[in-house]
Structure 1
Amino acid sequence: MWTCCAAPTTTGAATGATKRPIVCSAAEAAAREVRRAADLGFPVGLVRPIDARGAYPNDIGRVMASGREEKGPMDVLFRTFEETGVLLGMHTFPAGVLGRTAFPGALTSPGELVNHAGADSQTLSFIFEMQSWLAQVLLGGFLDRYPNLKMAVFESNSQWLPYMLETCDRLFKLYANERRVKAARLPSEAFYEQCVISFESDEEPTMIQWDRFDTVGIWASDCYHHDGADAWSAIRAMREIGVPEVTQARLMGGNARRLYGIEPKVFVTEEPPPIERPDWFPQGAELEEWADLVAHPRENADVLRERGISSLPPAEVFASPVYGGGSS
């Protein structure tokens, strides 16, 4: 498995984290790294919720199969997060390419199912991975086993959360007699008491449901991805929707400060003007032409390659069955 340690930064995502991958061969090694990071003042450790090398982080299947208060193989890691006070950040990623599985015929990430359709897994992989993780930990009493654990859901969108919590609550009650492990709280209660979730400036459905995110939502810029947005765009959207000012303050920083133990300081009070570009920077008609070309990479693959602005594979690859071309 691997973990990432996150430290505050003025230029990173609004979750206040910068990622530094650390490869670990076992849960004990990961736990030692979390302790070392905690000693250095890092407030967050990131774990990806996938079945890496046949070991899912929670391994809920083994615990449920035993029907006992058995310690899962990752127990030492989660106990370390509790003891150090480091926030457990669950951070999803795009799924692997076709054929890269834990073993032949197995899936490492549910996002790989999107790859099987010949589409980019990024379209839904982040959401699939996080929903799979949350369903297991919320229905399986994971947070009751680690009551002092604080967990954050990163970069997985957020508007789906209220519906999922309501569904998990209903199933939690409906199948109570079949539950093999102790779970004292409803999934929604456990989440609101121990978890937070990040959202970005274009997630207006989340802002419309502001009352469900008031104390658990944390705005994130997604910087430095090309679709990252600044805080001002989120503020404008929330004002247009009618999100109360007190809730805006929590979503745009209050919840993050509380979670990370950050003392509030004011650095910016006015929105900066548009960036002035030098004359050589693509703009106007030239920029519009480029945007149209990259919006249709398959049709314009040759032109993009000629101009040296394409990382696309050769045209013959697009003709293969993997990309929907040729014969299957």
Structure 2
Amino acid sequence: IQAFATLFQYGTFDRFPNLKFVVLESQAGWLGYLLDRMDAVFKGPMGATTDMKELPSTYFRRQCWISADPDERALANIIDYVGADRFFWASDYPHPDHTGDYIEALAELVAPLPSDTRHKILCGNVAGVYGLG
């Protein structure tokens, strides 16, 4: 997480406004807390010590995406905070900490989400970021 936060602190997203940064293999549950905390710190005296011109959450919502693993039960709440267009679904295959029932886990994960949000997470966001369609 520290390396991720450093991208914001050193003005990376201002220097490279077309950069698309994708966070994989880290789950997404920590994201809401981190963005909230970075925004709070930026608004305080420490904000003057960075090269950022905007709130960290603004950069994230413009230039970053994150994958969510099949067992992330709080995903709907994080999506509400960050936005559905910032998430990918990831199977975490072949790591041994996930069982092989990815399709069932995926169906359960996206079941409570609106259909447009499901589409974004399952394929739309990946296609857009990587130019697949």
The TM-score bracket by the shorter chain reads 0.7 to 0.9
**Residue 238 in 1 paired to residue 110 in 2?**
yes
Aligned partner of 1:285 in structure 2 is none
**Residue 182 in 1 paired to residue 54 in 2?**
no
Bigger Rg, which one: 1
**Residue 133 in 1 paired to residue 40 in 2?**
no
State the secondary structure of the residue aligned to 1:250: helix
Q: 1:158–1:197: 8 Å Cα contact kept in structure 2? A: yes
Q: 2:67–2:88: 8 Å Cα contact kept in structure 1? A: yes
Q: What is the root-mean-square deviation in Å for CA atoms of aligned residues? A: 1.6
Find the aligned partners of 2:128 and 2:6 in 1 and give their Cα distance.
27
Aligned partner of 2:60 in structure 1 is 191
* Equivalences for residues 45-84 of structure 1 within 5 A: none
Give 1:213 shift.
4.1
Structure 1 runs not aligned, ≥5 long: 1-130, 264-328
CA 1:139 to 1:231, structure 2 compared with 1: closer, same or farther past 3 Å? farther
Number of matched residues? 129
Structure 2 runs not aligned, ≥5 long: none
Find the aligned partners of 2:83 and 2:106 in 1 and give their Cα distance.
14
- 1:201 partner letter: P
Q: Can you list the C-alpha shifts for 1:173-232, whole angstroms capped at 9, x where unaligned?
A: 10233x1x5311110000111110011110111233322240111000111223155244
> What TM-score, normalized by structure 2, do the two folds share?
0.87
Q: 2:22–2:65: 8 Å Cα contact kept in structure 1? A: yes
Find the aligned partners of 1:244 and 1:236 in 2 and give their Cα distance.
13
Find the aligned partners of 1:156 and 1:137 in 2 and give their Cα distance.
16
Give 1:245 shift.
1.3
Which has the larger helix fraction?
A: 2
Q: 2:72–2:109: 8 Å Cα contact kept in structure 1? A: no
- Runs of 4 or more, structure 1, over 3 Å off, are none
| Equivalent of residue 154 in structure 1, options 19, 24, 33 | 24
Find the aligned partners of 1:187 and 1:262 in 2 and give their Cα distance.
28
Q: 2:61–2:83: 8 Å Cα contact kept in structure 1? A: no
Identity %: 31
Q: Can you list the C-alpha shifts for 1:84-132, whole angstroms capped at 9, x where unaligned?
A: xxxxxxxxxxxxxxxxxxxxxxxxxxxxxxxxxxxxxxxxxxxxxxx11
- 2:71 partner letter: D
Aligned partner of 1:250 in structure 2 is 120
User: Higher relative CO (CA 8 A, sep ≥ 6), structure 1 or 2?
Assistant: 2
Q: 2:13–2:19: 8 Å Cα contact kept in structure 1? A: yes
* Equivalences for residues 248-287 of structure 1 within 5 A: 248-263=118-133
- My pick for the range that moved more, 166-175 or 207-216, is 207-216
* Equivalences for residues 269-308 of structure 1 within 5 A: none
Find the aligned partners of 1:186 and 1:144 in 2 and give their Cα distance.
11
Find the aligned partners of 1:209 and 1:147 in 2 and give their Cα distance.
25
Find the aligned partners of 1:204 and 1:253 in 2 and give their Cα distance.
20
> What TM-score, normalized by structure 1, do the two folds share?
0.37
